[in-house]
Amino acid sequence: MDSENEFDVNGKRITTYVTRSKEGINSVLEFVFYDSISKVVGLDIGKSSTLYLCDEFTCIIIPLLHLNSIPESLMNFLCWPEYTFVGVGIRGKMEMLETQFGIRCRNAVELGPLAADVLGMAHLRSCGVDKLALEVIGFDFGRRRLVSGLYEDSDANAFSMQQAEFATVNVCSCYHIGRKLLEKRAAISAKKGRVIRSKNWLVRFGIRKCSRSAVFVMIFLVFLVGVMNSDEFRNQNSHRRKFYYVRRMV
């Protein structure tokens, strides 16, 4: 492991590892990322082919050009079906990685279009991480912006603490944006599923269009029919009829 530092990102402590060794990559992936609960990973790639991965508490920075070969553990992790990798411009960057290093990512999600669809804000489709962080998680990324070019053009030969911090803030923001949007999308889908099931139940009774009040009336009627068909209700009603018959006889 080349270096290990801790940074504060939006009130949370993130441990960042910079490594050029297979052993360091294997260690972080096996003991940190595979134990991640959310199964969402922020992903970014610098211009110098440096790979950045981040979950809720951990970030790993991998200068790919300084590796003799790509570790199998990294290849397998990026293709693991249970994980979703989120980022800005992620698809184009992954195409570059596949061409240059043979690295593929199975579940890559572009944050701009995801935010536009989930939040219903079309202008977010082409926004960068700064705007998305502000809109989705309320994080003012601009306050952590370093000198222009410091992060993007670094060759990762001597990754400074400033560069590591900015990279951590950037990719960690992708993680938090992606996680919140995916959770919101799942909640919306679940709600739609409940509505569809309710509509299907009404269709069985031949009701295709009705108001909410009509639905409540239907539920009440079903409940009432159930009560009237119960044994207890029948017995009580039978006793009442017998009592009424006896009174008329008298």
246 contacts: CB under 8 Å, gap ≥ 6? none
The per-residue pLDDT for range 30-73, each reduced to its tens digit, is: 877 776 677 899 999 987 889 999 998 999 999 999 898 999 99
CA gap 149, 136 in Å, rounded: 25
* Whether 118 and 166 share a structural domain: yes
Q: Is residue 20 part of a domain?
A: yes
The per-residue pLDDT for range 133-155, each reduced to its tens digit, is: 999 988 876 666 544 344 454 55
* Whether 38 and 145 share a structural domain: yes
CA dihedral (78, 81, 87, 90) in degrees, to 10, reads 70
pLDDT computed for residue 33 by the predictor? 77
- Which range among 52-56, 82-86, 185-189, 205-209 shows the weakest confidence by mean pLDDT? 205-209
% of the chain surpassing 70 pLDDT: 68
* Whether 79 and 175 share a structural domain: yes
pLDDT computed for residue 2 by the predictor? 77
Task: Please give the angle made by the CA atoms of 160, 166 and 172, to the nearest 5 degrees.
Answer: 130
Q: Is residue 196 part of a domain?
A: no
For the domain that residue 7 is a member of, what is the CATH number? 3.30.420.10
* Whether 147 and 112 share a structural domain: yes
* Whether 140 and 245 share a structural domain: no
How many other CB atoms sit within 10 Å of the CB of residue 18? Answer: 22
115-121 average pLDDT score:
94
* Whether 154 and 216 share a structural domain: no
Q: What is the DSSP letter of 133?
A: I
Q: Is residue 128 part of a domain?
A: yes
Q: Is residue 245 part of a domain?
A: yes
pLDDT computed for residue 150 by the predictor? 46
Asked if residue 241 has pLDDT above 70, the reply is no
Measured CA distances, 213 to 192, 220, 226 (Å) = 20, 11, 20
pLDDT computed for residue 59 by the predictor? 94
* Whether 217 and 117 share a structural domain: no
Q: Work out the pLDDT band at 250, boundaries 50, 70, 90.
A: very low
Q: Is residue 73 part of a domain?
A: yes
pLDDT computed for residue 208 by the predictor? 55
Q: Work out the pLDDT band at 157, boundaries 50, 70, 90.
A: low
200 versus 125: the higher-pLDDT residue is 125
* Whether 36 and 147 share a structural domain: yes
* Whether 157 and 235 share a structural domain: no
* H or E element at residue 2: none
CA gap 175, 37 in Å, rounded: 13
Q: Is residue 175 part of a domain?
A: yes
Measured CA distances, 125 to 93, 117, 132, 163, 232 (Å) = 17, 8, 9, 28, 62
Asked if residue 210 has pLDDT above 70, the reply is no
pTM of this prediction?
A: 0.73
Please state the domain count of the chain.
Answer: 2
Residue with tokens 């990102």: 9
Q: Is residue 153 part of a domain?
A: yes
- Domain enclosing residue 218, as ranges: 210-249
Q: Is the distance from CB of 168 to CB of 161 less than 8 angstroms?
A: no
How buried is 221 (Cβ within 10 angstroms: 0-12 exposed, 13-18 middle, 19+ buried)? exposed
* Whether 181 and 224 share a structural domain: no
Q: Comparing C-alpha atoms, which of 185, 208, 187, 189 is closest to residue 198? A: 208
Sign of CA dihedral 55, 57, 58, 59: positive
240 versus 59: the higher-pLDDT residue is 59
* Whether 223 and 115 share a structural domain: no
* Whether 78 and 177 share a structural domain: yes
* Domain end among 164, 191, 218: 191
CA gap 79, 132 in Å, rounded: 26
Q: Work out the pLDDT band at 166, boundaries 50, 70, 90.
A: confident
150 contacts: CB under 8 Å, gap ≥ 6? 162, 163, 166
* Domain end among 191, 219, 241: 191
Q: Is residue 137 part of a domain?
A: yes
CA gap 141, 1 in Å, rounded: 28
